[in-house]
Structure 1
């Protein structure tokens, strides 16, 4: 019997039918579709009420079929929850990254953080509305976000609060601070961000500094 010699696949050839298309792998194409869905969702949820946005609207904006939508998200609510979480974490990273490591006072720490917070929201009003203006069914998620944010910033402000045996009181103070800042920002967004952002950042710095000082 004639011995057959195995022929090695050409370099760069797909290992399975449909694995590569247009020079991109299946995973790369899926990642690109997900990114487009998220971008479309931020725009739609940032410009319309939650109830006015459908899965079909998101798919049309992202230029994907519903089949691909359901590869990444279970439904519209799941999409909003995930988009909200990702955008909020991005914003937290931006704000925390602006904290000066050698700040001598709470005000020196807080002022650049508040200015960064407001500046990032002004730069992208749609993202601002996704993060801060939630549909009623998002209330449980919103409360969870407030607790997460308070825990995130606790290490940054602890050195200005001083040692305290009442850790629970400090946790509640930070929760009240984050919730208060969020409500002020929501009010500002509801007024179409028309008020001076620098003044808002100064007010938030004053509020946060005085609450922590006491």
Structure 2
């Protein structure tokens, strides 16, 4: 294995450790020493890839955001039009609930981690654009945007509640509710807009 490949592997191990620590149920402290211990690397290798802890936390958050966006894009691209809402919800559940550390990094960490406190707001337009692109039956651009913003906010709150245990329903009930929310909002906006 060459030097560049070894660096890439070390960086990946550090990022994986960051997801696990930042996304821990108790909001574990992800200081440099803890991350290095979890990745089984020395601090020297941490600083080989990241300038400081805050840059690392932002990188972890960005990686999780990319994975979430990619999962949603893949789901809606591969599904037939009438099944896109369900495909998107199932893809997001698979990423955020089946890998709860990822879900907690994306949805809960910005509330408790100063290094990414504003990142959720910065990432929201990406998800709004994805939802908006699926609302093709709503002809009015302003209405489509308002519906998309509302849906992203509602779904974010639902997933946060599911991840932190405030919502305790079976998985299929949760999925069905999220899909129905998407479909009902699009239908109601189309009729009203």
- Answering whether residue 154 of structure 2 is matched by residue 180 of structure 1, we say yes
**Residues 8-87 of structure 1 correspond to what in structure 2 (within 5 A)?**
24-47=1-24, 48-49=26-27, 52-87=29-64
Aligned length in residues = 183
Rounded Cα–Cα distance in structure 2 between residues aligned with 1:182 and 1:190 = 12
SS class of match (1:172): helix
1:210 corresponds to 2:188? no
Secondary structure at 2:51's aligned position in 1? coil
1:37/1:193 CA distance change after superposition, 3 Å? farther
Residue in 1 aligned with 2:98?
123
> Unaligned regions of 5+ residues in structure 2, if any?
none
Higher helix share: 2
Per-residue CA deviation, residues 104-127 of structure 1 (Å, 9 max, x unaligned), is x4xx32012212221332321222
- Partner residue, 1:197: 171
Matched, 1:97 2:74: yes
Displacement, 1:38? 0.6
Unaligned runs of 5+ in 1: 1-23
Q: 1:202 and 1:149 mapped to 2: Cα distance?
A: 20
Equivalent positions of 1:151-170 (< 5 A) are: 151-155=129-133, 157-161=134-138, 163-164=139-140, 167-170=141-144
Contact 1:34 1:72 in 2 (8 A): yes
Deviation at 1:102, TM superposition (A): 3.2
From the superposition, tell whether residues 193 and 89 of structure 1 become closer, same or farther in structure 2 (CA, over 3 Å).
farther
Q: Is the 8 A contact 1:149 1:178 kept in 2?
A: yes
Aligned to 1:143: 121
